[in-house]
Amino acid sequence: MDDRTDHPLEESVPAAGTTAGPQIGKDEWVARISERRTGRGGWLGKVDERARAVPWWAWLTLFVALAAMLPVGFESGYVRRIAFDTVVFMLLALGLNVVVGWGGLLDLGYVAFFGVGAYTYAVVSSEKFDLHVSALVSIPLALVVGGIVGLLVGLPSRRLVGDYLAIVTLFFFQIFLTVTNNGESIFGKDLTGGPNGIINVDPLNVFGRELPVSRDGIFNVAYLYVALALFIVVYVALRFANDSRTGRAWRSLREDPLAAELMGMPVQWLKLTAFAFGAAVAGLTGALVTGLNTSVFPQTFEFPLLITIYTMVILGGAGSQAGVVIGAIAISVVLEVLREPGDARYLFYAVAILSIFAALRISRRLAAVVGGTLVLGFVAHAVAESIDASWTAGAPNGGGRVAGWASDWVIVPADLAGWLGPVAYITLIVLILALTLLHGWYRLALLVPTLYLAAFVWENVMITKPEPTRFVILGAILVAVMIARPEGILGEKRVEIV
């Protein structure tokens, strides 16, 4: 699943026997772009290079085959349901990628299009208006309605430049929320059920046969296959769209709208189509989700969902389809793991240890930091215990083997003083920000207390509140990725034009 099938790396490396140098009819600067883009060294660079040599459809087949095998290995309805949700996020991320990654437009109303699709499906296949349309009609209908609403919302942007588009989409998001929340009496008619939403929606039905949402009391795995099938269709369709004239035009629009306009491209129309494509994918996904949930509520389509999808796209790499799929999987799994304190603890220590290793490699500095942190922890723990035994008497939240070990090292008071949590949290953020400013040995010296404080905050503050913790982490990822690696995991590095 690579974005550059026509990867020009082979061209830029001269074949054996020929001499490297200026070649007639070839733009050196353009030819070297690929080197600049994938300029990663070491074994990671080699893996990257090899992976990019495999055509995208091979990756897609491999991935879908693996995903389809998942129910064989996992009997539990819970895991299968999470897999379904992940595919839904992948679809949403693919749609947002069209707008943000290819079009370079900031769409803050994306979740509303998802909601439009969901409500469309619910209206045409529920008791509410006594309509029971086949899924073969209602899913395409949701797609079309989503796309049309996307066009309509995009229309004002014809006259608006730059950031105003983001504002209009945000207004649209608010309007959508107002309408759905108060839709139980629009001119006296009940359209959306208001805050109570629409319930008793039909599950998906194909060729006259209804797909039950659960079988033997657990999640019906057929839905996972429906979702995967839609995923393949959307992935391939968008892939072709991106390789078409329109796709190239989108990217030129992203790189430099003014230049694109001067080259005679219909900039406004391109913006509208990018918008409509994204909105259509979101609408389709909305119908799929509603078919499984058999209900729809306005509370589902709130701001946190928007940020979640944005984080997936940005982390994976805006502009790369494979990237946003990977981003969606990573974020979806992380969010799920964070729900359970015991699992979340594993994740925290694993990420902490791995990132220290990645940052310092195997070196004396690594030994100094790890040793220093461990010693600091045991000393702090012993001192705290000798002053007041209750300071270390707290039981770590959630289970797991690491919990016992952590409680010998991290101070977990029996009852945390109200002021201590916020103070420790704010100090931690200040320390982390300070770390980015320092260099050399100062940075290493500060890293030791920061790591210990991070463990303290994790065990005492964050692990007990999974909900805000998940979103704090999303926000932090968004900022950190934007600053440290704006192209995300797999995205294209922008070619700087001087």
Partner 1 sequence: MLGSVRLDTFIQLTLNGLTLGSVYALIALGYTLVYGILKLLNFAHGDVFMVGSFIGFGALQALGGSATPKVPVWLLLVLIVLAAMVGCALLGVAIERFAYRPLRNAPRIAPLISALGVSFFLAYSVQLMFGSEQRDYDAFSISAGALFFNGFDIGNVRIPLLRIIIIVSAFVLMIALWLMVTRTRIGKAMRATSHDREAAAMMGIDVDRVIVFAFVLGSALAGAAGVMFALRAPTSATIGFIAGLKGFTAAVIGGIGSIPGAMAGGLILGFAEAYTQGYISTRWSDLLVFSLLILFMLFRPQGLFGSPELKKV
Give contact residues for partner 1 (rule: CB under 8 A): 100, 104-106, 156, 159-164, 166-168, 170-172, 174-175, 178-179, 182, 258, 303-304, 307, 310-311, 314, 421-422, 425-426, 429, 433, 436, 461-462, 465, 467-469, 471-472, 474-479, 482-483, 486, 494
With contact defined as beta carbons under 8 Å apart, do 93 and 324 qualify? yes
- Residue with Cβ nearer partner 1 (304 or 399): 304
Distance from C-alpha of 490 to C-alpha of 329, rounded to nearest angstrom: 14
DSSP state of 101: I
Measured in degrees and rounded to the nearest 5, phi and psi for residue 338 equal -70, -15
Q: What's the min distance (Å) between Cβ of 477 and partner 1?
A: 7
Distance from C-alpha of 122 to C-alpha of 347, rounded to nearest angstrom: 38
- Residue with Cβ nearer partner 1 (362 or 483): 483
- Residue with Cβ nearer partner 1 (191 or 226): 191
Q: What's the min distance (Å) between Cβ of 171 and partner 1?
A: 4
235 token code pair: 């992935």
Q: In 3-state terms, what secondary structure has residue 296? A: strand
* Helix ranges (DSSP H) in 54-109: 56-73, 77-96
Give the angle 363-365-366 at the CA atoms, nearest 5°. 70
- Residue with Cβ nearer partner 1 (180 or 290): 180
Q: What's the min distance (Å) between Cβ of 445 and partner 1?
A: 21
Query: Minimal CA–CA distance to 318: which of 471, 93, 111, 163?
Result: 93
350 token code pair: 């694993």
Q: What's the min distance (Å) between Cβ of 245 and partner 1?
A: 23
- Residue with Cβ nearer partner 1 (100 or 226): 100
Cβ neighbours of residue 125 closer than 8 Å, sequence gap 6 or more: 131, 132, 133, 135, 138, 201, 202
- Residue with Cβ nearer partner 1 (278 or 291): 278
What is the DSSP track for 191-217? SS-GGG-B-SBPPPEETTEE--SEETT
Q: What's the min distance (Å) between Cβ of 389 and partner 1?
A: 27
Distance from C-alpha of 293 to C-alpha of 219, rounded to nearest angstrom: 11
Q: What's the min distance (Å) between Cβ of 446 and partner 1?
A: 16
- Residue with Cβ nearer partner 1 (386 or 436): 436
- Residue with Cβ nearer partner 1 (235 or 275): 275
Distance from C-alpha of 155 to C-alpha of 271, rounded to nearest angstrom: 9
With contact defined as beta carbons under 8 Å apart, do 428 and 434 qualify? no
- Residue with Cβ nearer partner 1 (92 or 141): 92
Q: What's the min distance (Å) between Cβ of 38 and partner 1?
A: 20
What is the DSSP track for 338-407? TTSHHHHHHHHHHHHHHHHHHHH-SSHHHHHHHHHHHHHHHHHHHHHHHH-GGGG-PPPSS-SHHHHHHH
Angle between the N-to-C axes of helices 56-73 and 222-243, in degrees from 0 to 180, rounded to the nearest 10:
170
Q: What's the min distance (Å) between Cβ of 340 and partner 1?
A: 18
- Residue with Cβ nearer partner 1 (219 or 458): 458
Q: What's the min distance (Å) between Cβ of 338 and partner 1?
A: 12
Q: What's the min distance (Å) between Cβ of 58 and partner 1?
A: 32
In the Cβ-directed half-sphere of 129, how many Cα atoms lie within 13 Å?
Answer: 14
Q: In 3-state terms, what secondary structure has residue 219? A: strand
With contact defined as beta carbons under 8 Å apart, do 9 and 33 qualify? no
Q: What's the min distance (Å) between Cβ of 41 and partner 1?
A: 23
- Residue with Cβ nearer partner 1 (177 or 280): 177
Helices and strands (H, E) in the chain, number of each type:
21, 6
Residue 125: which H helix or E strand, with range? strand 125-126
DSSP state of 189: B
Q: In 3-state terms, what secondary structure has residue 261? A: helix
- Residue with Cβ nearer partner 1 (232 or 426): 426
- Alpha carbon distances (Å) from 53 to 29, 44, 213, 494: 22, 14, 40, 21
304 token code pair: 């946190």
Strand 218-219 to 209-210 pairing: unpaired
Q: What's the min distance (Å) between Cβ of 70 and partner 1?
A: 31
